[in-house]
Amino acid sequence: MVWDRTRAARKRSKSPSVSGRTNYHFKRTQAVVTIRNPDNTQTVVSSRLVLNDIHSKGLFIFSPVPIPIEQRVEISIRDPHPFHQNAIVRSCQQISYDQKILSNQQFQYRIAIEFEVATGQDRERIDAYCNVVQETCLRSF
């Protein structure tokens, strides 16, 4: 009997209507960043991406290595839906955290990347991708 009341109280405390907050699930995925070097070589960096950080103008990634500001890159995402876009790095900040938040690998840099939009078709494709991700992958409960 006491156990049932405790369990019911715990459920009520987690309910959005009781606490006034909405809980969100932040889905993450892998992004591959290809850096175009001045000597026509490429460097590939495996990074993490929180899907909530994708917007029509750009995205934020977590990277194990810094990427210089104004560096031209190519972003490739396989999951949950394939996406590929040329972009420019706009900021690169070293972060510190004590826990492995994103995965077992340490991602010490949070990097802001702006999409390069050459045509109206690029803009439509980026907007459509953002809408699909928002509708199919982001949810609140």
The yes/no answer on whether domain 25-140 falls in CATH 2.102.10.10 is no
> pLDDT tens digits for 25-46?
567 889 999 998 888 899 999 9
* 64/13 Cα distance (integer angstroms): 38
Q: Give me the pLDDT at residue 51, please.
A: 86
Q: Give me the pLDDT at residue 136, please.
A: 80
Report the predicted TM-score, pTM, of the whole model to 2 decimal places: 0.73
Q: Phi then psi for 133, rounded to 5 degrees?
A: -60, -45
Q: Give the DSSP H or E segment for 131.
A: helix 120-136
